[in-house]
Structure 1
Amino acid sequence: MAGKDVLLSVDGIKATYNGAITALHGVSFTLHRGEILALLGANGAGKTTTLKAISNLLPAERGEITAGSILYEGRDVTTATPAQLVRAGLVQVLEGRHCFRNLTIEENLVSGGLGRSGSRAEIAFDLEKIYALFPRLKEKRRALAGLTSGGEQQMTAIGRALMSRPALLVLDEPSMGLAPIVVQDIFKTLRRLNVETGLSILLAEQNSAIALRYADRAIVLESGVGVLSGEATELRQRDDVKAFYLGQKPAPAPAFTPTSLPAA
């Protein structure tokens, strides 16, 4: 794709915590407008650190980028606060279904619109769009978020992010701890948003099978290093990816059966 279509550019970033623990060793990738890109890898591979670096959240956890660069729409993300990045359209849904547990579902959603200083009319309009995407949230809109199911809380967290009208939605482990049918519904909704509105999505996932089904491209991280990247459809077919990242063993070779020799 042409350079002008690049929305996010991550170039050789290295990151440490507490000035001593190195979490990333030179991760690089680009994300184009209208694309779904998946970051794959086991727990501890560096996925969450990469996402927090992109949203400039590392300093809050005594982390820092020590080398490389991250550009969002050509802007160095380290020159902006996380709140400024949200207003610029880079919105992250953190791992763990973070909701305001003592607020209702609808109050949680409204907070996303308030974060970008939306007008009352804009917030009301966006609410209806979220309820159309996640009808379950409309049914539970008066319930306290902390008393709803894990799936409903994840939908709330995603819905609140969408209320900020992102250009790039960043998701950290959206499938974690959820029933397979709920995961399918969430990923189908994300793909629908991508197709219908052109929303760009960057997601980190341990559930590589579901991520590769819905992503356009993927990069595999291992111990803070990008070890593999390519089109999602191609990666799904590779035996090494199936074995190491999808948990599928390659099909065994057919057993050798000696043919009977004709009697002399």
Structure 2
Amino acid sequence: MSDHLLVLEGLAATYNHAIRALSDVSLTLRQGEIVALLGANGAGKSTTLKAVSNLLHAERGQLVRGRIVFDGHETSALASAELVRLGLVPVLEGRHCFRALTVEENLIAGGIGGGLSRRQIAAGLGRVYTLFPLLKERRRSASGLTSGGEQQMTAIGRALMARPRLLVLDEPSMGLAPLMVETIFSTLRRLNREEGLSILVAEQNSTVALRYADRAAVLDAGSTVLAGDAADMRGRAEIKALYLGSPGESAAHPAHCAAPRRPIMRPFDNSFIR
């Protein structure tokens, strides 16, 4: 039996049946791993995560080729809510808290979405408040009135309330101060090491992602161009220079204006996607 919790094979996706967003994305994630999905702005990271969570249709997107298997289940045959109950829980880019609800009400909503009982929700709240003490202090505050870092903690806490086996995170560092980024990533690493939580995280901040991840895959123009151990990638400056860039560069040069990048002249690590 395969020890792969998640398998992506040759994904191709479009928006509005016309705009090609993914061409050939493949990767695997084993139980208990943190895998980072890296790439410049517009490389296809968010689209890949939406495909994994079966949320492409919400933005008029379509998976036109390939397959996604989570714990033996073909995700295309399951609604996103069913995937959550199976343990695949996403935290979308931009946090998406219920702004009019309090922090605690947001967390409770995550427990309800995961089908938890009152007792399980109460236990889940205690767990989240232990992980993120700041949320306990702010639990009665409307989420829309909290800081960006607090909203990101709330979004992650809400996902944790559903008792995920695989947490899927899209750009958790976006717009946050470096200290808050470290707090969030160190908490995720703690969950991974102490509880065996598997994590797939898309990040433009490759420096932070590679420090906390076990393995990583780099996307460029909608395709997987490199994959392997995060420790190996950390030591290769050419990866950032040729594929990742910096958030500032990506903002200044949108993906549709960017010049094509030259490929890294190194054999592709096929073992990562088997």
TM-score (norm: length of structure 1): 0.91
Could you tell me how far 1:246 is from its partner in structure 2?
A: 5.6
Q: 2:71 aligns with which of 69, 73, 90?
A: 73
SS of the residue 1:4 aligns to: coil
Task: Name which of 88, 91, 94 aligns with 1:93.
Answer: 91
Q: CA deviation at 1:243?
A: 2.4
Aligned partner of 2:259 in structure 1 is none
- The answer for the alignment partner of 1:41 in structure 2 is 39
CA distance in 2, matches of 1:121, 1:142: 20
Is the partner of 1:71 in helix, strand or coil?
strand
**Alignment partner of 2:25: what SS?**
strand
Q: 1:168 aligns with which of 153, 166, 169?
A: 166
Gaps of 5+ in 1: 248-264
Residue type of the partner of 1:73?
A: D
Are the equivalent residues in 2 in contact too, given 1:12–1:26 (CA < 8 A)? yes
1:23, 1:217 → 2: CA distance?
Answer: 23
Provide the aligned C-alpha RMSD in A: 0.9
**Alpha-carbon offset, residue 242 of structure 1:** 3.7
Q: Which amino acid aligns with 1:158?
A: I
Deviation at 1:97, TM superposition (A): 1.2
Give 1:212's aligned residue: 210
CA contact (8 A) 2:40 2:245 kept: no
Query: Does the aligned pair in 2 maintain the 1:42–1:222 contact within 8 Å?
Result: yes
**Could you tell me how far apart the structure 2 residues matched to 1:239 and 1:208 are?**
11
Distance in 1 of aligned mates of 2:116 and 2:210: 34
Taking the aligned partners of 1:181 and 1:97, their CA distance within structure 2 comes to 18
Q: Distance in 2 between matches of 1:172 and 1:207?
A: 11
CA shift, 1:212, in A, is: 0.2
Match of 1:152? Answer: 150
Separation in structure 1 between the aligned mates of residue 237 and residue 57 of structure 2, nearest angstrom: 39
Larger radius of gyration: 1
For 2:18, give the aligned amino acid.
Answer: A
Structure 2 alignment gaps of length 5 or more: 247-274
Amino acid across the alignment from 1:208: S
Identity of aligned residues (%): 64
Q: For 1:239 and 1:180, how far apart are their aligned partners in 2?
A: 21
Partner of residue 259, structure 1: none
How many equivalent pairs are there? 245
Q: Give 1:1-264 correspondences, 5 Å limit.
A: 4-244=2-242, 245=244, 247=246
